């Protein structure tokens, strides 16, 4: 009987937590201490994948899904008639350990509905983490939500126990946030973010003086914005992202395609489908910002306020900027090679290493893993000195490389000399 | 065509390199005693295993290669792919023949092949870290109540030895064992050190590639059910995407995952 109750509680609180996209367990590397339990792996480990294809790395769960707020986009809003439940801190800590011992998870992702007050909720969450870290000597990964409005003291205390903290922005502009979540405003969301940042920077200074000072959120913080619930353009969203990434503690911004969980609420748009393609394009743009050294204005700006849904943002940029090409694979810098569509970080690194030994031709590029279907329009290399883009119109490239190509590319894509049919 | 016979161990392979340089003859194929003799084999040489030969080649390799590249060779060996020994052989010969380091010369097919195969084996290593599922069982070798966390795997490459350090560090306070059912060996951690094990047939610990349910401890089924129900509850129905799920978590692992039973 007690067991059935645990299982249904687990289900209710997982259902309530699942719309949080983040599940990363990366960013900290820590080996086991004193033969206790657990370690953290720098690049993170995904232990399972649900039928929607999303990774399960942490035990993503709410401490309770009772909530006094009434945000229009949230499944747990106060006015929703859904089953409610709550764990005691001990129950949740025990469950985490049992799952961890079986290699189901990397650790815990703890979130909670807001009960009584922000500080009260935060205190209860800290209790779970304290049992894990101090009683069970758990050394695995812990991600904890910072509750908007919680005091700096509690954020400080939590941050010294966990690996990552996050506060979700949810709605990119303040105007729309006020509309959908009357209990929230950007001030109360940015405040814990700032607290986390300040504490982290102070902690870095303290650790310079005394190495044994415990680390404050070693994996930094992350946040999430909902896409498609309100009318923001990709330009607005990505400008916000770029601003957030300028803060040294912000590691990830997640984009969550809007799922109409409360379809009765007339403030929300009626969507036939989750805007998955747009979400995917935003992630691609996000990657360009973080790993490809792109400036946000190169991807979106007032002339191009939204990302092209038919081709990826890198290709879209390349087509708009023909003056940048051709890139000479054997001569140009790593940064320039990285900008070629069809060449990723890994192949770009291999290319600059390999070309020291010999001149690279098309065959070598193919073996290295360059997607020539895309790259061929933008490069010259050994044995292929003629530059294709000059012969091909931008429209041709776009139509042949978009997700559902309208033009069939020549089956033998790399002729020595290319003459276009028009 | 010249063929070298060797004992199909990594150490033996390095001895073959030694012999090739000594005899100034490069084999075109590497064979073991059980192999069918190739049709065009005109000449063959038996490689004798000597510790001194192995050590000399290995020390020379350590001098000429970075630790990363040396690791890649070991990973490539563990792939157990049919041609992998010949690729390693040619790679090592190139290392010794060249005056400059070759390990980043990815325009060379053998260098790139070693890089790629090592990457695949590394991926399988990561898969093991992801998808090992421990079941708590009664220790069949002990009369007293003793709990062991036991997992069965069937990896495509022989990557289990590459993961033991990770598991030993992470699960330092529990007794655990991981068994490679395909290659019929595994490792057992007894709270102090690792031991290589092979299972006693009479215990019937594994039946039909699965852990014998009779051995499970009382609460094990309960946690498996909880995990199964948790993963189901976590799925967002509006976003169902089985293709993406299979891409990230290949079907060959499902057999041993409690959350995928009956799917």
Kindly report, residue by residue over B33-43, the tens digit of the pLDDT: 888 888 888 89
A-chain residue closest to B134, CA distance: A102
A93 phi, psi to nearest 5 deg: -65, -45
Interface list for A 3-32 with B (CB within 8 A): 3, 6-7, 10-12, 14-15, 17-19, 31-32
Task: Please give the Cα distance from A118 to A115 (Å, whole number).
Answer: 7
What is the count of residue pairs from A and B with beta carbons less than 8 Å apart?
152
Is B231 within 8 Å of A48 when comparing Cβ atoms? Answer: yes
Q: Which residue has the higher pLDDT, B202 or B129?
A: B129
Max CA distance (Å), chain B: 67
For chain B, the domains span: 1-64, 65-131, 132-260
Q: Identify the band that residue B258 occupies on the pLDDT scale cut at 50, 70 and 90.
A: very high
- How many whole angstroms separate alpha carbon A107 and alpha carbon A58? 5
B64's tokens: 């000429």
Provide the mean pLDDT of chain A.
Answer: 88
Strand intervals (E) in A307-410: 327-328, 379-380
pLDDT, one tens digit per residue, over A257-304 is: 888 888 888 888 877 778 889 999 999 999 999 999 999 999 999 999
A202 touches chain B (CB under 8 A): no
A259 interaction partners in chain B (CB closer than 8 Å) = 236, 238-239
What residues in A contact B230, CB-CB < 8 Å? Answer: 10-11, 14, 59
Query: In sequence order, what are the residues at sequence separation of 6 or more whose Cβ sits closer than 8 angstroms to the Cβ of residue A313?
Result: A281, A284, A285, A288, A299, A307
Structural domains in chain A, sorted by start: 2-223 (3.20.20), 320-401 (no CATH)
Beta strands in chain B (DSSP E): 2-5, 29-31, 43-46, 135-138, 147-153, 176-180, 185-189, 194-197, 206-207, 210-211
Q: Is the dihedral of CA B93, B94, B95, B98 positive or negative?
A: positive
Which residues of B, range 216-235, sit inside 8 Å of A by Cβ?
A: 222-223, 225-227, 229-235
Give the count of beta carbons closer than 10 Å to the beta carbon of residue B93.
15
Check whether A413 has a pLDDT greater than 70: no
In this structure, chain B runs to a length of 263
- The model's pLDDT over A52-66, given as tens digits with 9 standing for 90+, comes to 999 999 999 999 999
Kindly state the average pLDDT of the residues B165-180.
Answer: 95
Per-residue pLDDT band at B59 (split at 50, 70, 90): very high
Helix, coil or strand: residue B135? strand
Asked whether the beta carbons of residue A357 and residue B108 sit closer than 8 angstroms, the reply is: yes
pLDDT at A421 over 50: no
More confident residue, A387 or B216: B216
Q: Which of A39-43, B73-77, B79-83 has the lowest mean pLDDT?
A: A39-43
pLDDT score, position A391: 55
| Per-window interface: A 37-76 vs B, CB < 8 A | 37-39, 41, 45-56, 59-60
Mean pLDDT value across chain B: 92
Stretch 337-396 of chain A: residues touching chain B, C-beta under 8 Å: 350, 353-358, 360, 364, 367-368
A257 interaction partners in chain B (CB closer than 8 Å): 239
Residues 88-147 of B with CB under 8 A from A: 102, 104-109, 112, 115, 126, 129-136
- What is the pLDDT, as a whole number, of residue A386? 66
CA distance A393 to chain B (A): 32
Among chain A residues, the shortest Cα distance to B258 is held by A104
Cβ contact, residue pair B239, A357, below 8 Å: no
Inter-chain residue contact B223 with A36, CB threshold 8 Å: no
Contacts of A140 in chain B (CB under 8 A): 170
Q: Chain A residue with minimal CA distance to B126?
A: A45
Cβ within 8 Å of residue B44, ≥6 positions away:
B2, B3, B4, B5, B31
- Which residues of chain A does B245 touch, with a Cβ-Cβ cutoff of 8 Å? 49-53
Nearest beta carbon to residue B149 from set A3, A48, A101: A101
Q: Rounded CA gap, A172 and B167, in Å?
A: 42
Q: Residue B109: its chain A contacts at CB < 8 A?
A: 367
CA quadruple A153, A93, B172, A31: dihedral sign: negative
Identify the pLDDT of residue A126.
97
Give the predicted TM-score (pTM) of the model: 0.89
Judge whether A334 is closer than 8 Å to chain B, CB to CB: no
Q: Examine the predicted complex and report whether its ipTM is higher than 0.90.
A: yes
CA distance A415 to B182: 47
Which pLDDT does position A402 carry in this prediction? 73
What is the spatial distance between Cα A352 and Cα B9, in angstroms, rounded to a whole number?
35
Give the CA distances from residue A105 to residues A221, B12, B97, B132, in Å, rounded to whole numbers and listed in that order.
20, 40, 48, 11
Beta strand B147-153 with B135-138 is antiparallel
Q: Mind listing the pLDDT tens digit for each residue in A161-202?
A: 999 999 998 899 999 999 898 888 888 889 999 999 999 999
CB atoms within 10 A of CB A16: 26
Burial class (CB in 10 A: 0-12, 13-18, 19+), A160: middle
Q: What pLDDT, on the 0 to 100 scale, is given for residue A404?
A: 66
Contact: B240, A52; criterion CB under 8 Å: yes
Determine how many CB atoms are found less than 10 A away from the CB of residue A268: 19
Smallest CA–CA distance, residue A20 to chain B, in Å, is 10
Q: How far apart are the first and last CA of chain A?
A: 75
Give the percent of chain B with pLDDT over 90.
Answer: 78
The whole-number average pLDDT for the span A83-100 is 95
pLDDT tens profile A19-63: 888 888 888 888 888 888 989 988 899 999 999 999 999 999 999
Which backbone phi and psi does B2 adopt, to 5 degrees?
-100, 135
């Amino acid at each position: 009987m007690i067991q059935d109750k645990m299982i249904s509680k687990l289900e209710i609180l997982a259902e309530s937590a699942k719309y949080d996209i983040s599940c990363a367990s990366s960013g900290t590397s820590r080996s086991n201490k004193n033969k206790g339990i657990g370690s953290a792996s720098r690049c993170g480990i995904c232990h399972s994948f649900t039928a929607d294809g999303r990774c399960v790395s942490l035990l993503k769960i709410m401490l309770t899904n009772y909530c006094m707020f009434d945000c229009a986009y949230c499944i747990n809003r106060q006015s929703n008639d859904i089953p409610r439940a709550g764990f005691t801190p001990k129950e949740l800590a025990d469950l985490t350990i049992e799952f961890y011992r079986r290699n189901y998870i990397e650790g815990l992702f703890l979130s909670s509905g807001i009960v009584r007050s922000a500080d009260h909720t935060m205190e209860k969450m800290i209790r779970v983490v304290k049992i894990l870290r101090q009683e069970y000597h758990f050394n695995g990964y812990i991600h904890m939500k910072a509750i908007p409005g919680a005091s700096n003291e509690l954020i400080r205390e939590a941050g010294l126990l966990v690996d990552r903290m996050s506060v979700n922005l949810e709605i990119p502009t303040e105007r729309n946030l006020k509309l959908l979540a009357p209990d929230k405003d950007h001030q109360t969301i940015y405040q814990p973010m700032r607290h986390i940042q300040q504490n982290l920077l102070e902690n870095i200074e303290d650790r310079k003086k005394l190495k044994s000072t415990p680390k404050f959120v070693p994996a930094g913080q992350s946040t999430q914005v909902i896409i498609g619930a309100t009318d923001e353009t990709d330009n607005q969203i990505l400008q916000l992202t770029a601003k957030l990434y300028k803060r040294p503690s912000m590691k990830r911004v997640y984009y969550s395609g809007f799922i109409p969980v409360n379809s009765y609420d007339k403030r929300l748009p009626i969507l036939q489908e989750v805007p998955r393609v747009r979400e995917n394009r935003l992630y691609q743009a996000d990657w360009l910002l973080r790993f490809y050294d792109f400036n946000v204005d190169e991807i979106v700006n007032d002339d191009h306020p939204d990302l092209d849904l038919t081709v990826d943002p890198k290709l879209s940029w390349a087509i708009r900027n023909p003056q940048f090409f051709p890139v000479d694979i054997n001569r140009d810098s790593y940064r320039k090679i990285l900008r070629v569509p069809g060449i990723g970080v890994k192949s770009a690194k291999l290319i600059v290493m390999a070309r020291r030994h010999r001149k690279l031709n098309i065959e070598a590029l193919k073996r290295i893993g360059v997607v020539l279907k895309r790259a061929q329009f933008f490069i010259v290399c050994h044995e292929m000195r003629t530059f294709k883009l000059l012969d091909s119109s931008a429209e041709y490239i776009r139509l042949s490389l978009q997700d559902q190509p309208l033009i069939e590319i020549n089956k033998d894509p790399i002729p020595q000399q290319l003459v276009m049919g028009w | 065509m010249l063929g070298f016979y060797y004992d199909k161990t990594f150490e033996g392979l390095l001895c073959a390199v030694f012999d090739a340089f000594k005899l100034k003859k490069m084999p075109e194929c590497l064979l073991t005693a059980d192999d069918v003799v190739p049709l065009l084999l005109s000449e063959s040489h038996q490689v004798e295993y000597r510790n001194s030969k192995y050590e000399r080649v290995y020390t020379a390799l350590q001098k000429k290669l970075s630790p990363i590249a040396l690791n890649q060779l070991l990973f490539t060996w563990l792939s157990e792919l049919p041609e992998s020994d010949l690729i390693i052989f040619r790679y090592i010969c190139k290392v010794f023949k060249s005056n400059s380091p070759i390990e980043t010369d990815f325009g060379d097919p053998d260098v790139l092949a070693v890089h790629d195969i090592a990457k695949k084996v590394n991926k399988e290593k990561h898969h093991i870290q992801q998808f090992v599922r421990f079941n708590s069982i009664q220790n069949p070798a002990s009369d007293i109540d003793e709990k062991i966390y036991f997992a069965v795997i069937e990896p495509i490459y022989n990557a289990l030895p590459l993961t033991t350090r990770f598991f030993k560090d992470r699960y330092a306070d529990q007794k655990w064992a991981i068994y490679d059912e395909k290659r019929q060996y595994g490792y057992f951690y007894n709270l102090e050190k690792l031991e290589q094990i092979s299972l006693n047939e009479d215990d019937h610990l594994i039946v039909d590639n699965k852990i014998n349910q009779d051995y499970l401890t009382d609460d094990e089924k309960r946690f498996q059910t909880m995990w199964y129900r948790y993963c189901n509850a976590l799925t967002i129905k509006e976003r169902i995407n089985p293709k993406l799920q299979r891409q990230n978590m290949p079907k060959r692992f499902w057999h041993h995952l409690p959350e995928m039973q009956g799917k």
